[in-house]
Structures are given as structure tokens and as C-alpha cells.
């Protein structure tokens, strides 16, 4: 596969390490009430879609950026590639 | 013999000597092993896989199922090569395989007589009982009998490379369509790669006799290849098979750089595995002719009519002096005409079509069928049943069979493509969603005429370049033949009890498919696996469709409804060497060397691989004969005076920024926010699921600067994890990370004399006294008169100890200085074994304990997990299941007999308990001989361990037969109060 890195352009997928579902960005607050149940979902529950999937890739043999890649799991078509940091900020994560 | 006196693309002035099964023969440059053997009158080239039937060539290309041979000797010995693609060279030694004692007299031909017992699925039926016989008796016998070639156990003397190529347009196949596509794109200036598996580009143009304009088609092809070779933007990859189509326009190809030479030219590899990145691709892989099945249709001399024509036209070889043709389409007639033109006697064209056309100079038997053949080691005659029902024999040495042509769709379906049935040519053509950027042209797309191939090849190139924003005109190609495909499908001759082969290599017959149908294996994928149809090394290139057609007939469905099985990479078999490339021997897994490596080699150290690193394991002395002597001495010397160990391999991560402390506070389960500058703290990292991930130390060098260490094994994954937290979880924290593992050489200096030793190295303005630089202090210092260094007062051994780091380039020098300066203290270098012994004696957890299943509580560090803050893994570490009061706890074990060894991995049982899972109390994680205690010792996890101190349990290992009584003790065998390290 070829991943079109937003800063570096097209890169071979061999340069990357795959992590999984991009919802791992949405880490709950560990100090909130009822955190245990929410963390159980966060740590263990994943969708396994046949189709579009947002997932985290790490450019380990490259610039060490984490990326959010939207990929069709049926065709391997890559729909979008974003810096995970930008995605996290857009989703309201900060400090 | 069978070499025709004129024609062919062979160099008759060059004589090449070669042997087959020890017998010497001659051929010419341009020959394949198959064409040269046929020229010498050799029809018998192999034995079939299951029945050991005598076999000759079926085809003239890489689809060959029968003529598998072994080439060369010694380290270059190469099994299962198709004689049809083995390019002849002077001195080639070839041998048949799967036959004993000889190809002509094969003992296992008895299988042929037992064929009633060896039908489809016979493995599953025959060898079911008794079950225990499978592994010991049946399987070894079957493996020996159903063999292909054998490999050499000598190392391969050649090298194999991997390479990367980029292009605008990849053209796969250099027949008329491929040449047209490459010329169109090449003349327009696009970056073109043209790959073809043959050693002579041109495809079928080299095997046909029709003209192209005023040239012969072979001459036109040679001219086109010469023009392409002159274009700087075109790369020709001959002898290169494109093996697979992968995502996003990436293709794998293997180039046989030196398979046609006795040995590679100096400095050249034998083969290259290319990874080709293409913006667009055109598949011009041509078509493969297919047989018609009839009784005993597998004798040497019976071959595909298209292949027979290729042998006559390209190699000037006829397989016999008298031949016949069996066909259901006009292409068989073309073969007859070309044979006649070369003076070969054609006895008849047996055409299944009642309306078969006439053919000048040869008798056409319309509506007739070949119903049987005779000849033990080679074809002697066939029996023909005429339209009238009358049967007669034809005495011939070879039969050309033409059941039509199958477009070579393999690469088009490596992704999501699903071939579609085309009624007009009675064959599957590429269909469904093709690999990204791929188009198909020429015969591969079902356009069988040369004119059609040129037009579609050029058209595909024009479209591909248009995608890339380039407008190109079609070149003016000369007129070529444009005959229509005239075929009346005919798959197999029925009404026989004899075996009629579909898959030659795996010995699958019409009967086997019929049996599969009877037993309910009707879906194509079931049919394939039950009968092994299409599962041989040729992947059914000549057999799949025949099998499907028989199944379709039995189920009453059309072939389109029956469907076809999937094609997967690789297109043809690949040598393991090509896949391995340079990653063999020492280069299979390169090792990293520590800064003191050269020094350690000079000391005669024994090394061990740890992760990617090569580390000194111990430093044997001349008077030591056993590794234990060396390790015990190193431990005693360190605990008695001072030892030095290279610990550079531990991961080092530099953490800087205003929020560095807050960041580490969330990464580690214990608190880091309040760590004072100039102090070090032990830290435990958890995974988000609450399991311990890694441990190490974090040293606060400045308000906004920490140096974090990780275990050697987890250096990479911890860094990845911290980057994830930094970028994805807390993107606005002001914190930066960089791995500095290679930047600093780091040495542990341990033992009661370590301070005294360091005082001789560290520049005098730095106070190393216990008050000035206490336990868990850290700081930036200089050594040896101004060399920058970092000093950490941390201890893995439990002794008064330091770790000192200098920029890597000074590591070797520092090691030598420490050894020189330490001579008065008898300083001793120690390796990973002594390091391990001392950490077990001290009860420190390491990789064996942080094994991905253990929690802070298991490790005896439950109280370290702070509930005053949010840190990764803290919430789920408090889950009920992980908080079990009776859960596993880290404890130590002393064998009742101090000299009885305890084994890591042993399970813990109460005395008298049977060694069953139900009685399991835990397991031993680390064990060693402790020279300090003069006893074997161990640590491990025991249920409710902290309440069982003093109890006697058993460490049992059913694997090794060991069963040792051990006393449960504190894991801190040495200096449990930690007085030494604070001294």
C-alpha cells in the first residue's frame, strides 16, 4: 500500500506500524465517576467494519508522526490521511 | 533427429552441450531444455505426481505441468524447474525427478495399477484408521512417494537482490499487445517498464508465421524491441516474471539475471526481486491454450497444438515425424498448416465440429474424436472415432490438441477481479474490479487476433497516459492478421471407463471430478480442494477450466454459473532465495554493537544476542573451563569490590518541555510531578488494560528535562507508546521526545568500591560523597578532564552503584579508563549473566516478570499505582479481576537442597498435589545459581505469595521431569533493607 503522508507525500506502508481503530484517540477521563465501565469499552470494544475504517498508523521508519488514515477495508482504498494530532485537537483534546 | 533443417530463432552456429539423466546431448543457443530434448528425440521427461505415469512436455511456456526437472548440482541444485522455460546453456546438467530407479523403469508406476484406490479424497478415506498411524506411517510414506524434486542442503553460493522501480506505465508481457502499449507510451516520453518472462521478447509473434506489414511477425517484434531498447525512458525487463498485483499499483516481479548462465557474472546476483511502483499498468499476458480430455491423453507426445506450433516455428523442432491434430477450433488448423509448411507429415486433423472447414494438404475428419491412445513410454498411436461411429487407428508420434485458448487472467484477479465468461470465445476474460490502475489488452482481454492485440495494446496505453494528463496519438502500426475466433466448445470425450486427464501434474481425471460431484463437493472451491485440481505448482493453468466444464456438465449449470476459483500470487513458483534477498546468514538479523564491543572482544568475552544487540555475556579467564565459574567470579568481584557492565542497550528517551513532568505523570502509574531536579525515580508503566508494560527510571535533569530509561527489549515499543500519548491523547502538552539510545554510551559501575573508582574518573569539582550525591541522585558532570557526562546513582545489582553516560564516541575510551583506574580495586567487567544473577539476588523484576500477564499488584508494587491522578492503565488496573487478594505475588524460592537446580518455567504445587492445572499455584519466572548465597535461587509468582513465606512448595516441570522442594522466601535475597545501595 502507499500512504500519502500529509507532510511527506507518498510513502510505502512498510515504513509504518499499524495500531488500529482511531477511536483510541478518545481516551476517557480516568478521574471521572464510573470511569471503569467507560474504560472497559475504550480498551476492548472495537468496530470491525467491512468498508470505511478510521485507523491509527505510526510512521516509525519515518518522521514518527501518528496518522489517522481512513481506509476502505474491502478495497484498501485510502480515502484520507491526517495527522493524528490535528484530529485529536479537532475532537477537542488538548492537555 | 527432430530438428527441422530450416527456420527457428536459434543460433545453429552455436553448439551447446548438456546432459539429461547423465546422457549427453547437443542443442543451440536460443533453445530451451524442452526444445533441445525434443530435437534430440527425447519425449519422456518426467513422471506424474501420484500415478507415476510417464510424461512429456504439454506446453512451451511457464504453464507446463509435466516436464518438471532438476537442474545443476551441488549448492546450485534446483528442483521442479519447468524444462519449457529453462534456457539452455553450455554444460547444463538436468535430471528427471519423482522416478526410481530410472525414468523409464519407475518402481512406483505400480500406483498406476492401483488407481482404483487412489481416487479423489483417497487420503481422507484410506488413512483415517487407525488415527495413530497417520503421523508415523502413512504420512512419511505418502511424502516419499508423492515427491517432486529434491533440494540441496549445501549453501547457495549465489546472491539474490531486491530492488525498487518506479514508472508511469508498467507493461506486463511483450507480445503484440505489450509491444504496442510500450511503443505508444515510450514514444510519448512516458517512463515505461516492459516486463516479460521469456528470454526473447515478442510473445506469440515469435511462434507464428504470419506477416506484419511486409515483415514476418518475429522480425517486426525484434525491430520493436530494438526501438524500445534505444529509448532512455523505457526499461526492458526480460527474463522477468511479474508475480503478483498488489495494492495501489505495486507489483512484484522476479528477474532471472543469471539462471541462463552456468554461474552469475562476478558481482552479479542470480535473481532480483523487484518491487515495482506503477502509476498505471497494462496486462498483456496473452493466452494459454487448453487441452481436450480423452482416455489416456497424458502420454509423452501428446501436447497442446499451440505449443507444437511454437516448437516448429520458434525452435525448428517437431516432436515427431508424423503427427495429427485434435481440435475444436480453427487454431488447430493453423498448427497443421505450419507443420505442413515445414515438411512434417500430418496424418489428419481430427475436428470435433461437424462443420469443420477443410485444410489444404491434409485430411480433416469432421465430427470426429480421439477416443484413446497407446504407447507405454511415448505415443505410438491414437484411436479415432469418426462421425459415423467407426473407429480406426492412426500411427503417429505426436498429437497436437487444441481445446481453445484461455485469456491469461491471473494478475487481473489478484485483488478483487472476478473473471467473466465470454461466450464468443468460450473462455473467461478479466472482469469485476481490476487492481487499481490496471487495464488489460490483447489476448489476455480475449482479443486473440494480432491486429486486435496491437489495437487494444496501443489503446490501453493511450487511456493510461490520458489518466496521467498526457494526450497521445496511436502509432501507425502495419496491418496484421485479424482472423475471428471460431470455436465450438468441446471439453472431454465421454463414454469411456478409462482415465481421461484434466490436471496432468496432480493426476486429476474426469472420473475424480465425477466422484467429487457424487460426494457433494460441487462448489468450485470444494472441487479444487477435494480433488486437488489446480493445486499443483502450475496452479492449474492448463487444467482449471476443463475441470469446471466437467462439473458444469454434471450439475447441469453453465460454466458462467459454475464460476472459477481464485488466482493468487505468485503467478509462477519463486525461489526462496529470491524472497530472502540479502537477508541470509549473519545478515538475516543484523546485530547492533555496544560502544565497548571492540574492547570486550579484546578481553575474549562471550557474546549473546539481546534484542537486536550483541552484548557481552561473560568474560571467561584462561583458568576457567565452565561459564558458571566466570559468572560466579564476576558476581563475587562486583559485590566484593567493583564491577563494570555496558548497559548502553537500555532504551533512553529524552523528554523535554514545559509539561514534561505532567506528561510523565500520566505515562507512569506512580507519581512524577513532584520529583526534584537532580533526582531519579523508578517508574512503572502500565498498558491501558492495567497490565504492566515496562519499567525503568526517569531522571530529572532540569525543571523541563527528563531522561527516561526503558528495558532493552521494549525500547522501541515504549517510545511508540509515548509518542502516541503525546500526539493523540494530549496534543497540546508542551513536550518533545527523542530516542537517545545510540547517543549515549552508558556503564553500570557497581560495588562497594564504585565511588572510589569514579572519584578517579570524575573531574574533582563534582562531589560524589554520599551527602553530595546520594542514592537516586543524578546530574550532568564532566569526566577525564572535561568530557561531558551524566551520572545517575541507581542500582540494579543492589550494591552501591552508579550509571555513567558519555557521548557514544567516548564509550570505548571510558571503558578503558575505568579498567585502568580500577586496577587498584581489582575492577572486574561483568556481562549479562552476572547482571541477571545480581538482579535475581536482589529480587528486581525484569522481562521474565514483566511478561505481559502481570500487574503491579502481582509484582508487589500494587501501592505504587496512584489513585490521586489519571495515568495510563490506572483505572483498569483496579478492576475486580486484577485485585484478587489470593492472586499471584512475586516471591523468592530457596531449594531445600541448595545444590538442586530450580528451573524457570517450573510450576508451583503444594506438597503431595498431583501435577495438574487444577492444583497450579503459580510459576517460577527467573532462576539462577547465587554465588552470594551458595545456593540455587529463584523468583516467581505464587498464589497469595506474601502470606506463604516459610512454606515449602514444589517447583515441578513435567517437561524436564524436575520436581524440587523449595521454601517460599522474600524475593530480596541480598540486603533486603537496601543498606548497601545507600552506603
Say if A75 is an interface residue toward chain B (CB within 8 Å): yes
| pLDDT of res. B105 | 80
Task: Give per-residue pLDDT as tens, B581-634.
Answer: 999 988 998 999 999 999 999 999 999 999 889 999 999 999 999 999 999 999
Half-sphere exposure at residue B141, Cβ-oriented, CA atoms within 13 angstroms:
9
Residue at grid coordinates 502420454: B299
Rounded to two decimals, what is the model's pTM? 0.92
Distance CA B661, CA B705 (A): 8
Positive or negative: CA dihedral B616, B622, B627, B628: negative
Residues of chain B with pLDDT under 50: none
Q: Name the phi and psi angles at B210, rounded to 5.
A: -70, 165
Say if A30 is an interface residue toward chain B (CB within 8 Å): yes
H or E element that contains B936:
strand B935-943
CB of B66 closer than 8 Å to CB of B96: no
Hey, are the CB atoms on A95 and B729 less than 8 Å from each other?
Answer: no
Residue at grid coordinates 504496442: B180
Ranges of each domain in chain A:
2-90
Hey, are the CB atoms on A36 and B879 less than 8 Å from each other?
Answer: yes
| pLDDT of res. B149 | 81
Q: What is the ipTM of this complex?
A: 0.99
Q: End-to-end CA distance of chain A, in Å? A: 34
Hey, are the CB atoms on A66 and B728 less than 8 Å from each other?
Answer: yes
Whole-angstrom Cα Rg for chain A? 14
Q: End-to-end CA distance of chain B, in Å? A: 96
Hey, are the CB atoms on A88 and B727 less than 8 Å from each other?
Answer: yes
Half-sphere exposure at residue B532, Cβ-oriented, CA atoms within 13 angstroms:
18
Cis peptide before A28 (omega within 30 of 0): no
Q: Give the distance from residue A93's alpha carbon to the nearest chain B alpha carbon, in angstroms.
A: 6
Whether A72 shows a pLDDT value over 80: the answer reads yes
Hey, are the CB atoms on A17 and B727 less than 8 Å from each other?
Answer: no
Cis peptide before A71 (omega within 30 of 0): no
Neighbours of B734 (CB within 10 A): 13
Q: Residue B34, SS3? A: helix
- Residue contacts between A and B (CB atoms, under 8 Å): 85
Probe site for chain A from B583, B722, B727 (most A CB atoms < 10 A):
B727
Distance CA B705, CA B667 (A): 15
Q: Give the distance from residue B693's alpha carbon to the nearest chain A alpha carbon, in angstroms.
A: 15
Torsion of CA B849, B850, B856, B860, to 10 degrees: 20
Distance CA B334, CA B359 (A): 9
| pLDDT of res. B507 | 92
Eight-class DSSP state of B14: E
Per-window interface: B 276-315 vs A, CB < 8 A? 277
Q: Give the distance from residue A69's alpha carbon to the nearest chain B alpha carbon, in angstroms.
A: 13
Cis peptide before B101 (omega within 30 of 0): yes
CB of B409 closer than 8 Å to CB of B429: yes
Q: What percent of chain A has pLDDT over 70?
A: 100
Helix intervals (H) in B342-420: none
Distance CA B825, CA B828 (A): 9
Q: Which residue of chain A has the CA closest to B739?
A: A64
Residue at grid coordinates 514508472: B167
Distance CA B206, CA B202 (A): 6
| pLDDT of res. B968 | 98
Torsion of CA B868, B873, B875, B877, to 10 degrees: -110
Q: Which residue of chain A has the CA closest to B246?
A: A1
Distance CA B92, CA B94 (A): 6
Probe site for chain B from A12, A15, A27, A60 (most B CB atoms < 10 A):
A27
Per the CATH hierarchy, to which homologous superfamily does domain A2-90 belong? Folate-binding superfamily (3.30.2270.10)
Q: For chain A, give the mean pLDDT.
A: 96
Amino acid at each position: 500500500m502507499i500512504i500519502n503522508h500529509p507532510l511527506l507525500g507518498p510513502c510505502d506502508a512498510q515504513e509504518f506500524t499499524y495500531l488500529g481503530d482511531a477511536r483510541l484517540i478518545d481516551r476517557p477521563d480516568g478521574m471521572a465517576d464510573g470511569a471503569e465501565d467507560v474504560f472497559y469499552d475504550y480498551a476492548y470494544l472495537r468496530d470491525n467494519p467491512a468498508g470505511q475504517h478510521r485507523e491509527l498508523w505510526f510512521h516509525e521508519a519515518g518522521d514518527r508522526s501518528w496518522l489517522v488514515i481512513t481506509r476502505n477495508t474491502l478495497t484498501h482504498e485510502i480515502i484520507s490521511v491526517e495527522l493524528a494530532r490535528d484530529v485529536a485537537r479537532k475532537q477537542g483534546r488538548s492537555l | 533427429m527432430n530438428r527441422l533443417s530450416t527456420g527457428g530463432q536459434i543460433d545453429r552456429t552455436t553448439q551447446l552441450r548438456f546432459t539429461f539423466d547423465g546422457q549427453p546431448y547437443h542443442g543451440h543457443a536460443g533453445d530451451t531444455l524442452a526444445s533441445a530434448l525434443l530435437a534430440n528425440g527425447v519425449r519422456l521427461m518426467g513422471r506424474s505426481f501420484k500415478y507415476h505415469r510417464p510424461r512429456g512436455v504439454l506446453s512451451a511456456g511457464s504453464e507446463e505441468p509435466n516436464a518438471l526437472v532438476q537442474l545443476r548440482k551441488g549448492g546450485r541444485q534446483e528442483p521442479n524447474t519447468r524444462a519449457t522455460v529453462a534456457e539452455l546453456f553450455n554444460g547444463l546438467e538436468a535430471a528427471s525427478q519423482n522416478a526410481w530407479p530410472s525414468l523409464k523403469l519407475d518402481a512406483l508406476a505400480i500406483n498406476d495399477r492401483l488407481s482404483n484406490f487412489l481416487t479423489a479424497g483417497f487420503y481422507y478415506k484410506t488413512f483415517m484408521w487407525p488415527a495413530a498411524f497417520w503421523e508415523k506411517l502413512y504420512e512419511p510414506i505418502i511424502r516419499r512417494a508423492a515427491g517432486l524434486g529434491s533440494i540441496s542442503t549445501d549453501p547457495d553460493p549465489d546472491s539474490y537482490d531486491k530492488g525498487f522501480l518506479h514508472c508511469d506505465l508498467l507493461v506486463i508481457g511483450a507480445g503484440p499487445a505489450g509491444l504496442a502499449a510500450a511503443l505508444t507510451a515510450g514514444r510519448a516520453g512516458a517512463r515505461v517498464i516492459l516486463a516479460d518472462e521469456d528470454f526473447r521478447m515478442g510473445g506469440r509473434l515469435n511462434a507464428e508465421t504470419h506477416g506484419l506489414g511486409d515483415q514476418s511477425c518475429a522480425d517486426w517484434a525484434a525491430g520493436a524491441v530494438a526501438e524500445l531498447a534505444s529509448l532512455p525512458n523505457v526499461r526492458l525487463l526480460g527474463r522477468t516474471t511479474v508475480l503478483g498485483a498488489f495494492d495501489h499499483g505495486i507489483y512484484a516481479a522476479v528477474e532471472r539475471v543469471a539462471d541462463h548462465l552456468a554461474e552469475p557474472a562476478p558481482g552479479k546476483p542470480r535473481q532480483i526481486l523487484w518491487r515495482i511502483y506503477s502509476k498505471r499498468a497494462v496486462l498483456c499476458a496473452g493466452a494459454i491454450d487448453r487441452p481436450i480430455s480423452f482416455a489416456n491423453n497424458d502420454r509423452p507426445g501428446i501436447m497442446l497444438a499451440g505449443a507444437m506450433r511454437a516448437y516448429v516455428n520458434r525452435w525448428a523442432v517437431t516432436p515427431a515425424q508424423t503427427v495429427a491434430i485434435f481440435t475444436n477450433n480453427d487454431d488447430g488448423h493453423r498448427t497443421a498448416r505450419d507443420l505442413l509448411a515445414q515438411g512434417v507429415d500430418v496424418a489428419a486433423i481430427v475436428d470435433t465440429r461437424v462443420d469443420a472447414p477443410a485444410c489444404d494438404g491434409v485430411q480433416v475428419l469432421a465430427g470426429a474424436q480421439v477416443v484413446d491412445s497407446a504407447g507405454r513410454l511415448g505415443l505410438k498411436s491414437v484411436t479415432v472415432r469418426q462421425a459415423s461411429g467407426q473407429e480406426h487407428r492412426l500411427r503417429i508420434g505426436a498429437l497436437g490438441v487444441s481445446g481453445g485458448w484461455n485469456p491469461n487472467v491471473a494478475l487481473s484477479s489478484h485483488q478483487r477481479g472476478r473473471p467473466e465468461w465470454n461466450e464468443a470465445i468460450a473462455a473467461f476474460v478479466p472482469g469485476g474490479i481490476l487492481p487499481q490502475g490496471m487495464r488489460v489488452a490483447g489476448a489476455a482481454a480475449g482479443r486473440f487476433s494480432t491486429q486486435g492485440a496491437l489495437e487494444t495494446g496501443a489503446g490501453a496505453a493511450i487511456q493510461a497516459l490520458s489518466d496521467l494528463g498526457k494526450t497521445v496519438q496511436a502509432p501507425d502500426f502495419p496491418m496484421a492478421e485479424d482472423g475471428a475466433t471460431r470455436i465450438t466448445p468441446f471439453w472431454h470425450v465421454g463414454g469411456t471407463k478409462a482415465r481421461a486427464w484434466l490436471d496432468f501434474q496432480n493426476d486429476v481425471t474426469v472420473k475424480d471430478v465425477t466422484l467429487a460431484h457424487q460426494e457433494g463437493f460441487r462448489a468450485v472451491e470444494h472441487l479444487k480442494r477435494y480433488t486437488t485440481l489446480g493445486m499443483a505448482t502450475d496452479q492449474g493453468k492448463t487444467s482449471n477450466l476443463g475441470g469446471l466444464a466437467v462439473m458444469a456438465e454434471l450439475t447441469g449449470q453453465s460454466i458462467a454459473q459454475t464460476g472459477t476459483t481464485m488466482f493468487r500470487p505468485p503467478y509462477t513458483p519463486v525461489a526462496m532465495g529470491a524472497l530472502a534477498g540479502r537477508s541470509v546468514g549473519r545478515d538475516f538479523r543484523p546485530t547492533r554493537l555496544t560502544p565497548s564491543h571492540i574492547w570486550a572482544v579484546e578481553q575474549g568475552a562471550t557474546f549473546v544476542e539481546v534484542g537486536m544487540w550483541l552484548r557481552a555475556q561473560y568474560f571467561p579467564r584462561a583458568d576457567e573451563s565452565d561459564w558458571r565459574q566466570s559468572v560466579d567470579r564476576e558476581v563475587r568481584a562486583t559485590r566484593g569490590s567493583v564491577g563494570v557492565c555496558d548497559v548502553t542497550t537500555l532504551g533512553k528517551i529524552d523528554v523535554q518541555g514545559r509539561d514534561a513532568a505532567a506528561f510523565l505523570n500520566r505515562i507512569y502509574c506512580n507519581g512524577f510531578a513532584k520529583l526534584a531536579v537532580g533526582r531519579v525515580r523508578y517508574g512503572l508503566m502500565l498498558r491501558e488494560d492495567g497490565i504492566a508494560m515496562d519499567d525503568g527510571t526517569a531522571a530529572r535533569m532540569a525543571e523541563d528535562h527528563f531522561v527516561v530509561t526503558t528495558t532493552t527489549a521494549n525500547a522501541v515499543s515504549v517510545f511508540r507508546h509515548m509518542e502516541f500519548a503525546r500526539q493523540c491523547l494530549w496534543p497540546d502538552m508542551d513536550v518533545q521526545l527523542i530516542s537517545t539510545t545510540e547517543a549515549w554510551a552508558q556503564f553500570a559501575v557497581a560495588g562497594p568500591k564504585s565511588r572510589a573508582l569514579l572519584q578517579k574518573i570524575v573531574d574533582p569539582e563534582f562531589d560524589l560523597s554520599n551527602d553530595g550525591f546520594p542514592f537516586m541522585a543524578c546530574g550532568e558532570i564532566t569526566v577525564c578532564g572535561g568530557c561531558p557526562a551524566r551520572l545517575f546513582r541507581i542500582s540494579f545489582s543492589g550494591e552501591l552503584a552508579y550509571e555513567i553516560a558519555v557521548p557514544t564516541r567516548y564509550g570505548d575510551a571510558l571503558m578503558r579508563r575505568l579498567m585502568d583506574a580500577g586496577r587498584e580495586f581489582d575492577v572486574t567487567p561483568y556481562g549479562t549473566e552476572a547482571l541477571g544473577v545480581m538482579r535475581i539476588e536482589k529480587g528486581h523484576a525484569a522481562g521474565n516478570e514483566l511478561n505481559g500477564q502481570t500487574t503491579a499488584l502481582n509484582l508487589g508494587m500494587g501501592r505504587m499505582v496512584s489513585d490521586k491522578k489519571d495515568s495510563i492503565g490506572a483505572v483498569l488496573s483496579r478492576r475486580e479481576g486484577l485485585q484478587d487478594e489470593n492472586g499471584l505475588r512475586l516471591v523468592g524460592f530457596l531449594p531445600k537442597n541448595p545444590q538442586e537446580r530450580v528451573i524457570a518455567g517450573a510450576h508451583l504445587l503444594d506438597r503431595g498435589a498431583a501435577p495438574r492445572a487444577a492444583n497450579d499455584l503459580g510459576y517460577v519466572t527467573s532462576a539462577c545459581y547465587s554465588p552470594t548465597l551458595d545456593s540455587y535461587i529463584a523468583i516467581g509468582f505464587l498464589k497469595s505469595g506474601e502470606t506463604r513465606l516459610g512454606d515449602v512448595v514444589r517447583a515441578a516441570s513435567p517437561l524436564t521431569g524436575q520436581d524440587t522442594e523449595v521454601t517460599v522466601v522474600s524475593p530480596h535475597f541480598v540486603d533486603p533493607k537496601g543498606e548497601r545501595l545507600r552506603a
